[in-house]
């Protein structure tokens, strides 16, 4: 499934209107880039759902376990379509385990190494989001780490899925898809790159030109 990694309402609504994207993913950084704060999460959820998002991933924040858990419970209260995002930290994973035991859908995020798949499994998470591009920035092979993470989760058989994030270009998307990754969250720029391959656009324009000439 493809998700839109943005809180830019105009761009997200246009992309959701294509019917090609299953939902929206956000975090505090994405909200800030859109001129929003975590307090705007309920509004983002409202308009994203109205625009056709089937799932909205919202990230809980807090300086300690108690605050993180309280915010996570507040977010999931917005609707059954909300998945609570929690970081792959000690506090985030502990809160993830408590919430998933109650049936709350959770995504473990900010993952930088394939070994963290073990933690996501132990936390009962439904998804884990490796930061593919950022791993590569740190000198790791982000694609291979993500593939290894995927293989570990498949072997465990508990159903946790990889939601590849922080992707840099369409080449990374294609490489991961070819290796079995099924879920991606993409920036609006990367969504546009997938939708508007320049060679395809040129070919389509030529088709129209030829159709008019023949008519």
CA–CA distance, 80 with 34 (Å, rounded to integer)? 25
Reply yes or no on whether the pLDDT at 210 is more than 80.
no
DSSP secondary structure, 77-104, as one string: TT-TTEEEEEESSHHHHHHHHHHHHTT-
pLDDT exceeds 90 at position 199? no
| In the chain, where the domains are located | 2-214
pTM: 0.94
Distance CA 54, CA 136 (A): 31
pLDDT of residue 215: 64
Residue found by looking up tokens 């830019």 in the block:
8
Among the residue ranges 68-77, 136-145, 152-161, the one predicted with the least confidence is: 152-161
Domain 2-214 has CATH 3.20.20.70: yes
Is residue 183's pLDDT more than 80? Answer: yes
Q: Rounded distance, CA 188 to CA 125, Å? A: 26
Integer Cα distance of 49 and 16 in angstroms: 10
Catalytic residue among 45, 49, 71, 85: 85
85 classed as catalytic: yes
Q: What is the pLDDT of residue 1?
A: 94
């Amino acid at each position: 499934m493809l998700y839109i990694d943005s809180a830019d309402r105009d761009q997200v609504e246009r992309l959701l209107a294509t019917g090609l994207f299953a939902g929206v993913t956000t975090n505090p950084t994405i909200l800030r880039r859109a001129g929003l704060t975590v307090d705007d999460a309920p509004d983002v959820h409202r308009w994203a759902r109205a625009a056709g998002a089937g799932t909205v991933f919202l990230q809980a924040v807090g300086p300690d376990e108690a605050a993180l858990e309280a915010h996570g419970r507040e977010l999931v209260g917005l609707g059954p379509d909300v998945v609570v995002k929690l970081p792959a930290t000690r506090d985030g994973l502990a809160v993830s385990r408590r919430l998933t035991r109650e049936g709350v859908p959770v995504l473990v995020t900010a993952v930088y190494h394939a070994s963290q798949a073990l933690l996501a499994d132990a936390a009962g998470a439904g998804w884990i989001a490796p930061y593919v591009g950022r791993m590569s920035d740190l000198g790791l092979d982000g694609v291979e780490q993500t593939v290894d993470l995927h293989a570990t989760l498949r072997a465990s058989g508990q159903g946790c899925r990889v939601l590849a994030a922080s992707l840099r270009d369409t080449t990374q998307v294609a490489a991961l898809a070819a290796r079995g990754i099924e879920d991606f969250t993409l920036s609006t720029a990367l969504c546009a790159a997938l939708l508007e391959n320049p060679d395809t656009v040129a070919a389509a324009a030529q088709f129209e030109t030829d159709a008019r000439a023949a008519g």
